A and B are shown apart, each in its own frame.
Chain A
């Protein structure tokens, strides 16, 4: 039994913001009220901390199977726990691709020893090659929570249509990495004054928004659930807003690096190389606005670890991606909460009820619910040192950055998965 006392319980799902004690027992939330006393329970004093429903990360890469020198399920889940995440959704672009139930089962099995819940995302198409549908129903039975060909867009409107119709019947969201391939080809950063100055090949914002426009129309055609991964452009966000206004089941996520950095921050340092690329200042502002006004449904990390051999090379040749679990909440507190852009309830929503809604599940602090909680401080001072990360990879541009606000404890199924 775990008794979390004196924390400020903030739960958007139940509209709670009050100092309450929470008792966890048998993996579930057993009780919730002020002044709980339970003899024999391990007591955590959460005074001064926020106690939120367990954070969900809709978008990460764990590299297992196939690239275990960059990350394993165990190491990635360890980093996620340090970031306050209680459930993470790894994308299927492993080797082999998670496009059939045996790969899904193997991931789920390997994840059983992990400190946080691992909810795999299956491929849309066989091998994520964009030709024919993957074995989605079988993967669902084995445990996937969504489908995506992440790393690439769903190749054609026709394939997307089939996937959305099929997944509508299976009640799964289709997550798309939106990118028009011909505009993307050869590009390594966002096109703009910075790319022209650096002589790096840039892609315009329309690389993403052209594909978002296609996807929204296919969502309308099929009535399926569409989720736009790592949205990075103002035009894309406008398309999502319009779709929501028309009542379509369209959602989107934004990463911490896209709402924190702009292309002016990009150096000849491959830690800044990520896809979609770090956007312009105007785009970043639009993302911050969307995070504040409710147009953005979730913050997702797109945690993308890469071993040094893939990153310590010329910018042009480096792999896309940066790690993100351990800095996500602190960046969100810095950029959204301390800046006054969003209140505490909305901040928590972006990590909890928001992503839960995308997956079509509930996430709340109530008796009988799973004992997954994220405890964090809004002002704890700390500095992120990548050498201390639990990830096997070191590709974070936030190494050395100091924060006020941090995850303090991660509780999964009633047990402490990590504490600061």
Chain B
């Protein structure tokens, strides 16, 4: 096996075969979540640096828990406590972390490309836990695992993504991932958050500014978080968003009766999604959280468990 550092920086460069391998590897870790005793010793003695330069609760806890359940230690750096506030550069901060000899770095950062940038400067695997507006690969993987479990497969789905697409790394990673499996992807949201260039991101992507049309016949609906600060831009009054784009029961009824609802969280009830929809039978929100643990455990296992990295996963036949 080649001596190469495997990073997970983005979904875009991965093949469908690599993603499938990855999801398959997550299966045993899903089962572990149902055991009364969840802790393994697989990564005992290993340590994972959690470098979160942007506020995050869910993703950070998910990675920390995933590492703990594999027996690894974590060292955690959060924006509020970081030396960034003292003017230290990202590289210097990360090199300081690296000098504490972790086996990989999980990086969350508000700047697009930050994970790519850091991966060029460190000698250990980097896992992108969200970089700016660019990608959030583990979110797309856990979403795919959730969809695959519920639908039995990922091929040929009709997927609608709702909300502020242009500012969403979750949308980009999901678009890249699902498109590789032949999904027809409809993006829906206010026009200024829906630049036409999004249709060039991957095959099978179209835009639609009417939510009823966008939901028609959808197998999967992914509602994105609408960031309040975006609504404060000279853009759109909150009530306008709700009137035109809130996912309500009646609107969701236009999708297939068994359509799945995914949301990366945190949900702002009453803004992007009506409460009864968030809590309804189609909602996969809590499964997503559990699957996030499985996906991140599988990822840590693959990258630092000694069996090679994502780069060594089977490549596409083309």
Segment with Cβ contacts to B, from A90-98, A197-205, A399-407: A197-205
> Contacts A193-B200, A199-B135, A199-B169 hold; do A314 and B114 have CB atoms under 8 A apart?
yes
Contact in complex: B111, A316 (CB < 8 Å): yes
Contact in complex: A314, B200 (CB < 8 Å): no
B61 interfacial by beta-carbon distance below 8 Å = no
> Contacts A196-B201, A199-B133, A199-B135 hold; do A315 and B113 have CB atoms under 8 A apart?
yes
Set of chain A residues within 8 Å of B112, measured between Cβ atoms = 198-200, 268, 315-316
Contact in complex: A312, B89 (CB < 8 Å): yes
Return B124 CB to nearest CB of chain A, in Å.
19
Tell me the B99-138 residues at the A interface (CB within 8 Å). Answer: 109-114, 116-117, 131-135
Set of chain A residues within 8 Å of B109, measured between Cβ atoms = 314
B14 interfacial by beta-carbon distance below 8 Å = no
Set of chain B residues within 8 Å of A192, measured between Cβ atoms = 197
B195 interfacial by beta-carbon distance below 8 Å = yes
Contact in complex: A314, B117 (CB < 8 Å): yes
Contact in complex: B90, A314 (CB < 8 Å): yes
Q: Please measure, in the bound complex, the distance between the C-alpha atom of A268 and the C-alpha atom of B200, giving whole angstroms.
A: 19
> Contacts A268-B112, A268-B117, A314-B114 hold; do A196 and B197 have CB atoms under 8 A apart?
yes
How big is the B interface, by class? Answer: 20 to 34
Set of chain A residues within 8 Å of B197, measured between Cβ atoms = 192-193, 195-197
The 8 A CB mask of A303-323 against B (1 = contact, 0 = none) is 000000100111111000000
B32 interfacial by beta-carbon distance below 8 Å = no
Contact in complex: B195, A317 (CB < 8 Å): no
Set of chain A residues within 8 Å of B135, measured between Cβ atoms = 199
Q: Please measure, in the bound complex, the distance between the C-alpha atom of A197 and the C-alpha atom of B195, giving whole angstroms.
A: 11
Set of chain B residues within 8 Å of A199, measured between Cβ atoms = 112-113, 131-135, 169, 172
Q: List 29 A-B contacts (CB under 8 A).
A: A191-B195, A193-B197, A195-B197, A196-B195, A196-B197, A197-B12, A197-B197, A198-B134, A199-B113, A199-B132, A199-B133, A199-B134, A199-B135, A200-B112, A200-B113, A200-B132, A200-B133, A200-B134, A268-B113, A268-B116, A313-B90, A314-B113, A314-B114, A315-B111, A315-B113, A315-B117, A316-B110, A316-B112, A316-B132
Q: Enumerate chain A interface residues (CB-CB to B < 8 A).
A: 191-193, 195-201, 268-269, 309, 312-317
> 8 tightest CB-CB pairs across the interface, nearest first?
A268-B113, A199-B133, A199-B134, A314-B111, A199-B112, A196-B197, A316-B111, A268-B116
Q: Enumerate chain B interface residues (CB-CB to A < 8 A).
A: 12, 89-91, 109-114, 116-117, 131-135, 166, 169, 172, 195, 197-198, 200-201
Other A-B contacts than A313-B89, A314-B90, A314-B111, 11 sampled, CB-CB below 8 A, are A192-B197, A193-B200, A196-B197, A197-B172, A197-B201, A198-B134, A199-B133, A199-B169, A200-B132, A313-B91, A316-B112
